[in-house]
Structure 1
Amino acid sequence: MSPLRIRTRTTRSGPVIELAGELDHDTAPEIRDLLPSLPIKHGQQLVVDLGGLTCCDSSGITVLIAARNIALAAHSTIVLAGVPDVVSRILRIVGLDQVLPTHPTAEAAEAAWMPPTG
């Protein structure tokens, strides 16, 4: 069992959550509790960097949906970065690959962000 390591930072495009280890039933509540406190503003994007994940179960998928809901409530977007193959497969199976855009790295996601105009 690999404990979940969480690192957050804020960029010009919005908050970034970096996850490493196992995102599962035991660790998902920690992320779920963190989400409402993220400093996400209207028009920004939330980047969830999954590059360090070794495991993601249904509780982890539920956390990603909760993160999407937080971003949408803030009139922002969400993108995933560094999605491991095993997680990518799960996202495809449940159809979340259609609603959670992905980038190879958090830096690529930040570079692709387009600030709102007006």
Structure 2
Amino acid sequence: MKPLTIAPVDAASGPVLEVGGELDYATAPALRAAVKELQPGVGQLLLLDLGNLTFCDSSGIAVFVAALNHAAAHGAELALAAVPPQTVRVLSVTGLAQVLAMHEHVEGAVAAHLSRG
């Protein structure tokens, strides 16, 4: 089991959380709390970098939805970057892939957001 790691980083588009390890029932509350601590500004992008995520169950997917709602409540957007293939598959099956913006990497997500700005 890989412990969950969460590292806040700033980007030109807004706050980024680098998430690694296993996101499951036991660790999802930590990510939910880290998201709630962020206060993205109106028009900013709240980005979850999942490049080091090794596992994600339904509890983790629920945190992504909560993060989407948190961003919207602040007038911001949410995007996921470097989403592992197995997580993309779950998001696709649940229909959330059409609701959550996903990018191959952080730089692409930031550039896409700034180009709309």
Q: Percent identity among equivalent residues?
A: 46
Match of 1:63 in 2: 63
Superposed, 1:1-118 pairs within 5 Å as: 1-114=1-114
The residue identity in structure 2 corresponding to 1:69 is N
Calculate the TM-score normalised by the size of structure 2: 0.94
Q: Deviation digits for residues 76-101 of structure 1, max 9, x if unmatched?
A: 11111001100000000111100111
Calculate the TM-score normalised by the size of structure 1: 0.94
- The secondary structure found in structure 2 opposite 1:15 is strand
Structure 1: runs of 5+ lacking an equivalent: none
Q: CA deviation at 1:115?
A: 7.0
Q: CA RMSD in A?
A: 1.3
- The secondary structure found in structure 2 opposite 1:50 is strand
Structure 2: runs of 5+ lacking an equivalent: none
Q: CA deviation at 1:116?
A: 7.1
